[in-house]
Amino acid sequence: MLIFDHSRPGRRAWAQSPESAPAADDLPADLLRRDAPRLPEASELDVVRHYTGLSRKNFSIDTQFYPLGSCTMKYNPRACNSLAMLPQFLARHPLADAETGQGFLACMFELQEMLKAVTGMAGVSLAPMAGAQGEFAGVAMIRAYHQSRGDAARREIIVPDAAHGTNPATAIMCGYQVREIPTDRQGNVDLEALRAAVGPQTAGLMLTNPSTLGVFEASIVEIQKIVHDAGGLTYYDGANLNAILGRVRPGDMGFDVIHMNLHKTFSTPHGGGGPGAGPVGVSERLLPYLPIPLVVEERGFHRWAEEADRPQSIGRMSAFGGNMGVLLRAYVYARMLGREGMHRVADYAALNANYLAAELRRAGFDLAFPQRRASHEFIVTLKRLKETTGVSAMDFAKRLLDYGFHAPTTYFPLLVPECLLIEPTETESKATLDAFVAAMVKVKDEAESEPERVKTAPHSLPVRRLDDVRAARELDLVWKG
């Protein structure tokens, strides 16, 4: 039932809007609306009950284990939410003077400094509103750097084939061409291919480390040297920062620019697909190009540095400076973890991932890279199961939903056939991981004994498997009544 089905002409949530107001008799008639928009006419209870009901049709971290590889679905502490929503923080207008926001700006400044420290970068801007926008800012800075040196020949960004789709899409948005390089059998960047790819046309390399294959690039020092020797810059995609937080810093690995996903590593909520936050960090040589605004401190006074202070900046990413409420949540999280807590993140994320990998392997699952150490995530391939039973990774994932577990990431990275990319995060207990292994074993047994049951899953959710082809062919994107 849609909210529109609750609608009755003349019904209203009377307490929620002004009773009435004088007509706008000063506005010209030809600029006015003639027909009312088709919004629901419902009572407050109708609305509350409808959306509470919808919420219960969702999986979420608060209700289910989410071993979703590359997404870092860890617990979102409730204090981060309640403290970011203190009424004074919510009421402050974005264009209010810095004098009215010293408490808020101090939080932003300290967050900026903490992110610098944990990533080992020379400067950080909190401006990008999501990981993909952080990537955009990062590559735009690489471009600004080369342009400032009059080096117009650098037109290519190198991207490993295991990379997230946002990497090549971002390079194109920044006006670059994309050159893909292959991954070797161990899951590392193919160094020979990289050597062959670099040259005077190379603007930079975008790299995720640990990679989306869940392994640490063993030759990272060598990779840096190859790209830097060719005059290119290196970009660290922070998608997997949780794997190394407190263990090794992108700055120490020699990266020139990085983005972080605070909705992953710093536990801000995913919110059903946003808002995120994608701060960027840079090495010394890229400092002038950071996106505005940045928080600066002058004799204890905090303010936003804008274009006048930062004339070489790549510019603004949003009208009002960024996803401040998300940044506040990350700030509270960072203060609660503290420096000891930061060191523990990667430790326990790696412990959980390696434990889960060991137990699944013991239970008869095939790891894509059994000879490698898992980082904070790892890949199971169901290729053998598919061949013997016809059950695909997709079928398997859907059946896990019936057992109350969110599916791992499926069919990404594209390099491994029938893959499940599994990331437990540090906030899950051994008991939860054991229950997940038991469910995996149960689905595998079912795949072997009654494959049809798995192929037609899920069976116990609000809907059965959906017809995606019809969704795209017979577009129904808005309710027409």
Report the site for another protein in 234-253 (rule: CB under 8 A): 244, 246-249, 252-253
The minimum distance between CB 188 and another protein, in angstroms, equals 10
Q: How far apart are CA 381 and CA 462, in angstroms?
A: 28
| Stretch in the footprint of another protein (CB under 8 A) among 189-197, 228-236, 307-315, 378-386 | 307-315
| Stretch in the footprint of another protein (CB under 8 A) among 197-205, 226-234, 355-363, 383-391 | 355-363
Task: Decide: 281 and 290 in contact? Cβ < 8 Å.
Answer: no
Q: Which is nearer to another protein, 220 or 454 (CB)?
A: 220
| Stretch in the footprint of another protein (CB under 8 A) among 101-109, 191-199, 294-302, 443-451 | 101-109
Q: What is the dihedral of CA 233, 239, 243, 247, to 10 degrees?
A: 40
Q: Is 59 in the site for another protein (CB under 8 A)?
A: yes
Task: Indicate the DSSP class of residue 285.
Answer: G
Q: Which is nearer to another protein, 81 or 387 (CB)?
A: 81
Q: Is 337 in the site for another protein (CB under 8 A)?
A: yes
Q: How far apart are CA 50 and CA 42, in angstroms?
A: 10
Q: Which is nearer to another protein, 232 or 321 (CB)?
A: 321
Backbone φ and ψ for 477, nearest 5 degrees, come out as -105, -20
| Stretch in the footprint of another protein (CB under 8 A) among 168-176, 193-201, 279-287, 378-386 | 168-176
Q: Is 57 in the site for another protein (CB under 8 A)?
A: yes
Q: Is 152 in the site for another protein (CB under 8 A)?
A: no
Instruction: Supply 367's token pair.
Output: 């790891």
The minimum distance between CB 315 and another protein, in angstroms, equals 3
- DSSP, collapsed to helix, strand or coil, labels residue 160 as strand
Q: Is 391 in the site for another protein (CB under 8 A)?
A: no
Q: How far apart are CA 158 and CA 195, in angstroms?
A: 11
- Contact string (CB under 8 A) for another protein, positions 248-287, x = contact: xx--xx-------------x-xxxxxxxx-----------
Q: How far apart are CA 186 and CA 220, in angstroms?
A: 14
Q: Is 61 in the site for another protein (CB under 8 A)?
A: yes
The minimum distance between CB 285 and another protein, in angstroms, equals 19
The minimum distance between CB 367 and another protein, in angstroms, equals 13
Residues with Cβ within 8 Å of 142's Cβ and at least 6 positions away in sequence, in order, are 157, 174, 203, 204, 233, 235, 256, 257, 286
Q: Is 311 in the site for another protein (CB under 8 A)?
A: no
Q: Residue type at 49?
A: R
Q: Out of 65, 67, 109, 118, which residue is the one contacting another protein (CB under 8 A)?
A: 118
Q: Which is nearer to another protein, 232 or 322 (CB)?
A: 322
Go through 212-223 and write b for each residue having 16 or more CB atoms within 10 A of its CB, e for each that does not: bbbbbbebbeeb
| Stretch in the footprint of another protein (CB under 8 A) among 84-92, 192-200, 227-235, 295-303 | 84-92
The minimum distance between CB 148 and another protein, in angstroms, equals 14
Task: Decide: 386 and 418 in contact? Cβ < 8 Å.
Answer: yes
Count other Cβ atoms within 10 Å, centred on residue 89. Answer: 16
Task: Indicate the DSSP class of residue 24.
Answer: -
Q: Is 89 in the site for another protein (CB under 8 A)?
A: yes
Q: Is 301 in the site for another protein (CB under 8 A)?
A: no
Q: Which residues, 177 to 196, sit near another protein by CB under 8 A?
A: 178
Residues with Cβ within 8 Å of 308's Cβ and at least 6 positions away in sequence, in order, are none
Rg (CA), the chain: 25
- DSSP, collapsed to helix, strand or coil, labels residue 446 as helix
Q: Out of 284, 347, 445, 450, which residue is the one contacting another protein (CB under 8 A)?
A: 347
Q: Which residues, 407 to 466, sit near another protein by CB under 8 A?
A: 407, 412, 426-430, 456, 458, 461-466
Q: Which is nearer to another protein, 20 or 311 (CB)?
A: 20
Q: Out of 65, 69, 74, 138, which residue is the one contacting another protein (CB under 8 A)?
A: 74
Q: What is the dihedral of CA 191, 197, 202, 208, to 10 degrees?
A: -40
Q: What is the dihedral of CA 348, 352, 353, 354, to 10 degrees?
A: 100
Contacts with another protein by CB under 8 A: the residue count is 198
